[in-house]
Structures are given as structure tokens and as C-alpha cells.
Amino acid sequence: MTLHLPFDNSYARLPDRFYTRQGAVPVRAPRLIAWNAGLADELGITGGDEAARARIFSGNEVPEGAAPLAQVYAGHQFGGFSPQLGDGRALLLGEVVDGAGHRRDIQLKGSGPTPYSRMGDGRAWLGPVLREYVMSEAMHGLGIPTTRALAAVATGEPVWREAGALPGAVLTRVAASHIRVGTFQYFAARRDLDGLRALCDHAIARHYPHVTGPAGLLEAVIDRQAQLVAKWLAVGFIHGVMNTDNTAVSGETIDYGPCAFMDSYHPVTVFSSIDAQGRYAYDNQANVIVWNMAQLATALVPLMPDGEAAVEEFTALVHAMPERIEAARQQAFAAKIGIAEAGPEEAALVDDLLARMAEGRADFTNTFRALSNGGARDQFLDPAAFDAWEAGWRARLARERDPQAVMRAANPAIIPRNHRMEQMIEAAVAGDFAPFERLLDVLAHPFDDQPEAEDLRRPPAPSEEVRATFCGT
């Protein structure tokens, strides 16, 4: 039986100027290296053997019902505005409606040049493809809204990067949509009000059918993004490139480039090699998402009948966002210390612990996880710093009904640690995909103890430490 995807392509029905219709550039020797069978089932994908999957998800064969296109968008990259970006190495094959009735994009990433490639080659190499595969699936396992990974295919062709020739690959990404803040900015910057309105209507119908108009959309996106960033902070996740073109209006985490999870806690942690100013540092992510929402607000103002009133209304929405993020963050961190309802007293307790963790170089994930079993003090350079905090915490915990259960649901045992990701990529480049498969298996259940995965819970030894991550374009 041939491979079948139940396509229904609503983006392709939008006006021509939203995209360029474009096929993938065929690759020499496509070979399937990963297939997410559970997700494929969820999406109603049926039939097809391994060879068919390799052909379709490398771009060598266009599946029936697909309408491949490269989406155009704009975006602020590190604060500077580019009026035209777009899918420079990606193609939207189309959309399918999943078993739960949710419409999902099927996108190839690394599928060859498009009119938006600028100086790029349109390709991706194996390292970032596997990195995004594992990272996005790990985020899903953690219960954090994210794009998913459906397939990875090796192309059998080299990709040239600074390091020389590297094995090429194509990732198939699944997303609620690929509509970005930068998509709105594209039409706003061109003063294309009809386009902007069509995009707004499309985004509302797709993601927020309960709201009306640009103001409703803005408020809904702000709410989703506030929740999302609080969830990132609660697991020590650093996105690394929160440009407006990498901020999805769906509220899903998107574009896993130089992202990373923190090992030892420090609020100003930065990994991305290109983020010299620390714009996208761990504890600046709340500020940046507010800034990005201000850009979305600016892009939406022209759709409002009364511009001045809209500016006032939208400004109020954006200004209220930090408080929303902080409330969500406090709630998430209260749970991490076993407290079901956050208030000022609880927030102070959390902040005191975090300050001690920063000072004591405590491992973020392991410290919180060990709160349940008495091992937390061992995570600190000076365990006495933890002991001084513990007494007040225990006194407060006495008022909780089931703090153990609250903590176990909030504190993962396992996260994709950087050094393990690097080791996994190194092994895969050498032809060994066992570490990749193992990470996927283990990270599907991050809240389980999994004693056999003890090695994946350990922070890096000094020789294993990864100090910088790369966009890997």
C-alpha cells in the first residue's frame, strides 16, 4: 500500500503572495534514519514502507495531495528588522487534520534552496537535524507545547559548513502552524492590509477560533506565550534565538537551533555562540517575549479602525504581560518545591533557593528532583547553604496535602543534556544511531526514575562540558 497522508492544505489556499510554490530538490541516496510511528498514527498517515518514507520525507517524491510551498515572512533578528526572510531551506508539504481534529503542518527542513535562501544552500546537516529531533520530542515528553519530529532522512550528500563536508539530512517537522510573529510583520511592513487581514483571519480560525479580531488574537497569543516561557524557565530551557521569526503565534516552541538546557543553575546562562550580548540568556527570555509581542501588536495596529485607540489598548495588553509571565513562573516553581498554590511567601522561598543554587553551582534539574528524596544538599558546593534554606521550606511544606506528588510531576529526572546531545551527534556521524535512539526512548518518559539511565542524569564532567551551541545552519 502506498504511503498516504490525509492532506487538506488551507495555507495553500491563501493568496499567492503568502508563499512561493516550490518543489524539493532531489537528493542522491535518501535513507530513513528515524520515524516517529506514534506521531504518524496520530496524524492518520498510513501505508508505505521504509523506502517510500525515505523518498517522500527527503523530498524526492511528492506525496499525493501535497502542495509544496516556501512560506514568506519577515522578522527581527537580534533586534534588527529584516523585511523579507522566508523558508530558505524548508518546504511546507501541506496540512493534515489529526485524530483529535487539530490541523498540523508537515514541513521538510533541509530540502534545498528556495527564493528565500539568500546566501544559504537550503540544506541541513545531520547534527542539527538530530538535535531538533531529540529536543522537540523531549519538550513534548515534558508536556511543553512544541513542534514535533516525524522523520529524519539522510540524503547521502555532503553539506559544506565551516568544519568541512558533513553528512546531509532532512527533518520532517510537524507544527500547529508555521505562522510566526514575523509573518505578520512581513505584511505590515509592506502595508499590505488585505494580506494582513487574511493572515489574521487564518490564524484566528486555526488557533483561536473563540476570539474575534486583531485584539482578540493579540491577547490570545500573549496568553499562550506567557505560559510557554514560564514552562521553559521551569525546566531550565534556553531557546537561544528568540527572533520574531522564531516565535510562533500558535504558542508552540519552534526552531531548535542553538537551544540548550542548563546544567548548573545560573540566571544569565547563554549558550548560543552568536549571542555575544546575552540577549537570549535564560533570565532574559521573559523580557524578550514581551518585546516580541510588542512587535506583533505593532504589526496588528493597522487592522484596527481607530489607530490611536488601538495603540492604547495594545500597549496595555503588552504592559500587562510581564505580570502574567511572573505569575505563571511563580506557580510553576512553587510546584517544583511541592507547593500547589503560589503566593508571595512561596515566591520568596523559591527565589531564595535559586539564589543559593546559583551561588552553589547546583545542577538545576538534579537539585529540584532530589528535593523529593533528601539528596538536594549534595548538589551544592557548600551543602550548608541548602540546609539554611531547608528548615523554612519544611515548615511551609507541612501545610501541603501531597507535596511529593506535586514535586514529582513538576521536576523531570531526565533532560537532554548538552554533552549527551554532542556525544549522540558524534556517534551518529560515525554511523552509530544507538545513542540517538536511546535518548529518544528515555526522554519520552522524563518524569520516571529510569535507574538504567542513571548516566544520562549526571551533569557533564569538566572534560565533557559544552560551552557553546551553534545555529548549525
Among 252, 255, 346, 363, binds Mg ion (CB under 5 A): 255
Catalytic residue, chosen from 105, 245, 263, 275, is 245
Please, which residue, 128 or 446, has the CB nearer to ligand AMP? 128
Residue with smallest beta-carbon separation from ligand AMP? 120
Q: What is the dihedral of CA 52, 107, 252, 433, to 10 degrees?
A: 50
Distance CA 229, CA 286 (A): 7
473 sits near ligand AMP (criterion: CB under 6 A): yes
378 is catalytic: no
- Binders of ligand AMP: how many residues, by CB under 6 A? 17
Among 246, 269, 284, 365, binds ligand AMP (CB under 6 A): 246
Work out whether 88 is an interface residue with ligand AMP (CB under 6 A). Answer: yes
Asked if residue 79 binds ligand AMP (CB under 6 A), the reply is: no
- Cβ proximity to Mg ion: between 72 and 371 the closer is 72
Q: CA–CA separation, 224 vs 146, rounded Å?
A: 12
Q: Which 8-state DSSP code applies to residue 190?
A: T
85 binds ligand AMP (CB under 6 A): yes
Q: Min. distance of Cβ 87 from Mg ion in angstroms?
A: 9
Please check whether residue 316 is in contact with residue 230, taking contact to mean a CB–CB distance below 8 angstroms: no
Question: In Å, how far from its chain's centre is CA 119?
Answer: 25
> Of 246, 272, 330, 469, which one interacts with Mg ion (CB under 5 A)?
246
Looking at the chain, the number of H-run helices and the number of E-run strands are 16, 12
CB nearer to ligand AMP: give 358 or 471: 471
Strand locations in 31-115, DSSP E? Answer: 31-35, 69-71, 75-77, 80-82, 90-97, 103-109
Least distance CB 83 / ligand AMP (angstroms): 12
123 lies in the binding site for ligand AMP (CB under 6 A): yes
Helix axes 418-429, 126-141, angle to 10 degrees: 140
**117 counts as binding ligand AMP under rule CB under 6 A:** yes
Shortest spacing between CB 426 and ligand AMP, in angstroms: 21
407 CB-side CA count, 13 A:
19
User: If binding is defined by CB under 6 A, does position 257 make contact with ligand AMP?
Assistant: yes
464 binds, among Mg ion, ligand AMP, none (CB under 5 to 8 A by kind): none
Q: ∠ CA 154-155-160 to the nearest 5 degrees?
A: 105
Could you give the residue ranges of the DSSP H alpha helices within 337-378? Answer: 344-359, 364-370
Three-state secondary structure of 145-164: CECEEEEEEEEEEEEEECCE
Residue 128 in contact with ligand AMP, rule: CB under 6 A: no
Footprint of Mg ion on this chain (CB under 5 A)?
246, 255
Interface with ligand AMP (CB under 6 A): 85-89, 116-117, 120-123, 241, 246, 255, 257, 471, 473
**Which residues are tagged catalytic?**
245
